[in-house]
Copies of this chain bind each other. A is one copy, B any other.
Amino acid sequence: MAFFIKKLTVIGLGLIGGSLARALKERDCVGEVVGVNRTRSSLEKGMELGVIDGFTTDPVEGVRGANMVLVATPVRSIVPTVRVIAPGLMPGAVVTDAGSVKGQIVLDCEAAMPEGVHFVGGHPIAGTEHSGVEASFATLFEGSRTILTPTAGTAKDALELVTIVWEAVGSRVETMDPRHHDQVLAATSHLPHLMAYNIVKTLSDLENDVQSEVFRFAASGFRDFTRIASSDPTMWRDICLENRGAILDMIDRFGRDLDLLRGWVAAGDGDSLHRIFAQSRDTRDRVLRVDKRGRR
């Protein structure tokens, strides 16, 4: 892949921002990467690791002369950040983000863009349970999917550039309406994460005589099931606040299904239990087959 971004600024130098910088540098897709962060220590770490070529804690200074800006901050900071940097952006620059919620964020960011600068909402579906620039690595996006959420006002060239960037680092790009994205993610990602957090809380609150054993005998199911409960609390707080409507809808659907399940257990209704378990197993197996096929 030929060098195609002269200067990239990454605001919010964590797992995602750091991994994109590493991946683009490794493929010689980018001339210079500037890191911007509130905390200096992440930036110094980023320099040490060779993830960035320069840094500043001042966002306006950081975006000066940048052809592309990736806002990879926690979700609640995206719009304020974009508003702050707007006056410093170079005409022709393209701004994108990596937020797990789109909807209103995309509208607000688009509205904040000065003449000749374009915003394209983006969501790379990738991550580990670790966070921070020290956890970043160049192959994070290989085999992943990235959802871009263009609107009627998105410039074609800008969408194309952001598409090329994510494809260059090994991600498969698809586009989706911002609100639709939020519903889909509430179901596939936000609900599972919240249920994992919830289950860990439930277990933590057990009485002492059971609890001490509970964690000693945590079966492999617990390990898998709760891996996502090790995710960054700030990120998940922000997701809950920004995607409230879709998340509440999913929690309510889940709660109704839980009531049904509880009823079958209470009534000793083995037939209904077997039916629902068999259906869930079949659905999951079908989904993962489709997913595997869809990836390659």
Q: Find the residue from A188, A209, A251 having the highest chain B CB count within 10 A.
A: A188
Measured between beta carbons, the chain B residues less than 8 angstroms from A234 are 274
User: Does A39 count as interface, using CB distance less than 8 angstroms?
Assistant: no
Identical chains bound together, number: 2
User: Does A77 count as interface, using CB distance less than 8 angstroms?
Assistant: no
Closest chain B CB from A162 CB (angstroms): 18
Measured between beta carbons, the chain B residues less than 8 angstroms from A160 are none
When the two chains form their complex, are residues A185 and B279 in contact, meaning their CB atoms are under 8 A apart? no
When the two chains form their complex, are residues A187 and B214 in contact, meaning their CB atoms are under 8 A apart? yes
When the two chains form their complex, are residues A215 and B287 in contact, meaning their CB atoms are under 8 A apart? yes
Measured between beta carbons, the chain B residues less than 8 angstroms from A248 are 262, 265-266
Closest chain B CB from A87 CB (angstroms): 29
Lowest 10 A-B CB distances belong to which pairs?
A233-B277, A200-B280, A233-B278, A215-B287, A237-B274, A192-B225, A197-B280, A237-B273, A221-B228, A189-B219
When the two chains form their complex, are residues B281 and A219 in contact, meaning their CB atoms are under 8 A apart? no
Contact of A218 among B188, B209, B237, B255 (CB under 8 A): B188
When A189-B219, A254-B199 are in contact, do A226 and B273 touch as well, CB less than 8 Å?
Answer: no
Measured between beta carbons, the chain B residues less than 8 angstroms from A233 are 274, 277-278, 281
Chain A positions 202 through 225: 1 when the CB is less than 8 Å from some CB of chain B, otherwise 0: 111110011001111111111111
Measured between beta carbons, the chain B residues less than 8 angstroms from A257 are 198, 201-202, 205
Give the size range of A's interface with the partner. Answer: 35 or more
Closest chain B CB from A55 CB (angstroms): 27
User: Does A6 count as interface, using CB distance less than 8 angstroms?
Assistant: no
Closest chain B CB from A152 CB (angstroms): 20
When A202-B250, A203-B187, A274-B237 are in contact, do A224 and B227 touch as well, CB less than 8 Å?
Answer: yes
CA–CA, A231 and B281, complex, Å: 7
CA–CA, A219 and B28, complex, Å: 28
Question: Residue of B at shortest CB range from A144?
Answer: B220
When the two chains form their complex, are residues A273 and B214 in contact, meaning their CB atoms are under 8 A apart? no
When the two chains form their complex, are residues A258 and B198 in contact, meaning their CB atoms are under 8 A apart? yes
Measured between beta carbons, the chain B residues less than 8 angstroms from A200 are 280, 283-284
> Which segment of A19-27, A41-49, A108-116, A176-184 sits at the interface?
A176-184
Measured between beta carbons, the chain B residues less than 8 angstroms from A236 are 273, 277
When A195-B199, A201-B276, A257-B198 are in contact, do A214 and B226 touch as well, CB less than 8 Å?
Answer: no
User: Does A118 count as interface, using CB distance less than 8 angstroms?
Assistant: no
Contact of A210 among B187, B229, B244 (CB under 8 A): B187
